[in-house]
Amino acid sequence: MLGKDYENQDCAIARALEVVGERWTMLIVRDAFYGVRRFNDFQAHLDIPKAVLSDRLAGLVDEDILERVPDPQHTGRHLYELTRAGRDLWPVINALLAWGGRHRQTNSRLFRHATCGTRLDDAGHCPECDVTPAPEAIVTERRRGRGRKRRDPVSVALQEPHRLLEPLET
């Protein structure tokens, strides 16, 4: 089994990869930006084994990327919310989406500046307002003709435009 650290690397990228470099982790963080907060919703949308999801969520909480809070609607259950450190990962998520869209497969989602409705460029910049909006000022929407295959509650909720970080109602 591969180790989870790069102890001989004196590099900020190595330290960051120790936290977010595992295969499922960035998809969990992406979904948290989309407003996913419940274990069952992460599990259904990602098709991730429950034990793996539990381990990754615990690690993200331990590393202060996610915060685990009581779910007021379900006694004994928890919600997962991005911390400040987690929110600081938005430029990374956006860059990976843009790179993947250019070099692998067209992204199924578009991102718009909530203030003016202008589509953001690959760098997350609004050319109309000449700003790079914070995640909470970004609306994501399904690209026409994409994203209709999945029927899990998160995919269904994301059929409509949705502001990043706003909790999804599933």
Residue pLDDT, tens place only, 68-115: 999 998 888 999 999 999 999 999 999 999 999 999 988 889 999 999
Q: Which domain holds residue 76?
A: 12-163
pTM for the model stands at: 0.92
- Asked if 28 and 56 count as a contact pair (C-beta separation under 8 A), the reply is yes
- Give a yes or no: residue 82 inside a domain: yes
The rounded distance, in Å, linking the Cα atoms of 5 and 8 is 9
- Give a yes or no: residue 33 inside a domain: yes
CATH at 123: 1.10.10.10
- Give a yes or no: residue 2 inside a domain: no
Q: Tell me how many domains the chain contains.
A: 1
- For the chain, the C-alpha Rg in angstroms (whole number) is 16
- Give a yes or no: residue 70 inside a domain: yes
